[in-house]
Amino acid sequence: MIVLRAFASLICCVMLATGASAQISLVPPAATPPPAASKPAPPKPKRHTPLKKPTEAAKKPDEASKKPAAPAAKPPSPDLPKAGDISPEELAAAAVNEDPNIDLVYGAYQRGFYRTAFRLATQRAQQKNDATAMTMLGELCANGQGTKRDYAKAIEWYKKASDLGDREAMFALAMLRIDGRAGAPDREAGVKLLASSAKLGEPKAAYNLALLYLDGQTLPRDLKRAAELLRTAADAGNADAQYALATFYKEGTGVEKDLDKSVRLLQAASLAGNVPAEVEYAIALFNGSGTSKNEVAAVSLLRKAARQNNAIAQNRLARVLVLGKGAPMDKIEGLKWHIVAKTAGKGDLMLDEALAQLSPEDRAKAEAAAGKWLGTQSNSP
């Protein structure tokens, strides 16, 4: 099954809660109140995003001049050919070794053989009137994978699949309609498609429809309906919806205030890899708010989120390391993260003072460590 991702994340919750993590101060000094939260902009639809993140083999574009060698009999490794075309027989051999039930079209896409995926999907769409293959063709045309980028053609394929009842095609087509990728934006048509997709159980459609009810521009503002849609998406495992709904329960927005439910949703979103949820859940664990207090687990989550360049996590991690709360005191490492967070706009007067009090040697170490981290990130692909 093709898995599409939502166009927006982490938006609806910050509108109402104004960023709960920005309001909670982890082990703050007595004289330093938490910084005031600024009012964020309303949610705005973004362009349609690709299918489920491909494997490492899918990260490079096709090269017409290179044909990959046939895979060995043993299960394929991450070093499987990264570009070009591959025969259905070769693809089937690789797929059967890995999973005998794998779909060859999706298998080709996952391995980065976009031209093969395009060719096989075209055959299936034309010969079998297969909606899933049509959705794949729409995705490949929209992203210029295995064929030239062509939004009009993508819309054509998505429309055919939508007419056959494919909820993911409805969702993808809604995104293109709202964003106006092949003509003038048509938010009304996009909303209808989102509603149809959500009704068929597509969690990303339910999540993004909730954003529109929260925004109050395309649809009348309806917090209760937004909460219902978020609950549908959250129950289906959508991490963005879990994080947003957690904020609704924390603030009592569209639902009855329930801190326990909020924390459980934060935990679920955190386990699914939602970075802002990791930060919020870490703060809840550290403070014992809505859950058992666990400073060690909290610091571990803050480290994880900090390494993913979340400035709030970097700031909170800096605090606990400088103060030695929940982790051994390490002012150099802590102030390294303070410098990194400050570069991203997350300043902290208490940590500025701690940095000023370091010896010249230790300050130089902290600045060098921060510089190394920032240099590594700027050179990342």
Query: pLDDT (tens digit, 9 = 90+) per residue, 97-112?
Result: 555 556 889 889 999 9
* Average pLDDT estimate for 315-341: 96
Place of tokens 């490079």: 60
Coil, helix or strand at residue 316: helix
* Average pLDDT estimate for 143-171: 96
Q: Which are the contacts of 191, defined by CB distance < 8 A and separation ≥ 6?
A: 174, 178, 209, 212, 218, 219
Class of domain 1-23+43-57+77-257: mainly alpha
Rg, Å, the chain Cα set: 24
pLDDT over 50 at 62, yes or no: no
User: Residue 40: its pLDDT value, please?
Assistant: 32
* Average pLDDT estimate for 184-200: 95
User: Residue 285: its pLDDT value, please?
Assistant: 97
Neighbours of 332 (CB within 10 A): 19
Q: Which are the contacts of 56, defined by CB distance < 8 A and separation ≥ 6?
A: 78, 82
Which one-letter DSSP state was computed for residue 102? -
In percent, the amount of the chain with pLDDT more than 70 equals: 72
Cα dihedral: 182, 187, 188, 190 (round 10): 70
**E strands, the chain, in order:** none
User: Residue 86: its pLDDT value, please?
Assistant: 58
User: Residue 27: its pLDDT value, please?
Assistant: 43
Looking at per-residue pLDDT, the higher value among 311 and 52 belongs to 311
Assess whether the region 1-23+43-57+77-257 and the region 268-381 belong to the same CATH fold: yes
CB 262 within 8 A of CB 3: no
Q: Which fold has domain 268-381?
A: 1.25.40
User: Residue 91: its pLDDT value, please?
Assistant: 55
Task: For residue 322, give the nearest of 275, 358, 286 by alpha carbon.
Answer: 358
In percent, the amount of the chain with pLDDT more than 90 equals: 67
192 phi, psi to nearest 5 deg: -60, -40
pLDDT digits (tens, 9 = 90+) for 220-234: 999 999 999 999 999
54, two tokens: 């491909």
| Whole-prediction pTM | 0.73
Task: For residue 1, give the nearest of 90, 74, 79, 110 by alpha carbon.
Answer: 110
Looking at per-residue pLDDT, the higher value among 7 and 373 belongs to 373
Burial class (CB in 10 A: 0-12, 13-18, 19+), 328: exposed
pLDDT over 70 at 79, yes or no: no
Amino acid in position 348: D
Domain boundaries, the chain: 1-23+43-57+77-257, 268-381
Burial class (CB in 10 A: 0-12, 13-18, 19+), 154: buried
